[in-house]
Amino acid sequence: EAQVTQNPRYLITVTGKKLTVTCSQNMNHEYMSWYRQDPGLGLRQIYYSMNVEVTDKGDVPEGYKVSRKEKRNFPLILESPSPNQTSLYFCASSFAIGGRNTDTQYFGPGTRLTVL
């Protein structure tokens, strides 16, 4: 089954404790992306990756890191989480066709993160 998986699905942590949210896709997609969703602000892109070893900042990258060592995985790292990073996080993937991507972006199930 084609899917994007994320782990953990729920996480409560404390300020400053490093954490990693994993994302994996089994569709051989080049493009992967992380979004956060907050009430009244909608979905905003954090980081994206066009292919292995190629990552770039989205609209709200501060406080986050990513890596793309393998095509299927795109972990999101919070080195020192703060309460303003409490949010619902989604990973997404798709085939990338150089800016004219009409293929669907598949979203993972989401990770609800609370930072106390």
Partner 1 sequence: QKEVEQNSGPLSVPEGAIASLNCTYSDRGSQSFFWYRQYSGKSPELIMFIYSNGDKEDGRFTAQLNKASQYVSLLIRDSQPSDSATYLCARLGAADKLIFGTGTRLQVFP
Which parts of this chain interact with partner 1 (CB under 8 A)? 31, 33, 35, 40-45, 48, 50, 56, 58, 90, 92, 94, 96-97, 99-102, 104-105, 107-110
The CB-of-35 to partner 1 minimum distance in angstroms stands at: 8
Distances (CA, A) of 31 to 83, 94, 102: 29, 5, 13
Nearer to partner 1 by Cβ, of 85 and 94: the residue is 94
Task: Report the half-sphere exposure of 116 (CA within 13 A, side-chain side).
Answer: 4
The CB-of-108 to partner 1 minimum distance in angstroms stands at: 6
Instruction: Indicate the length of the chain as a whole number.
Output: 116
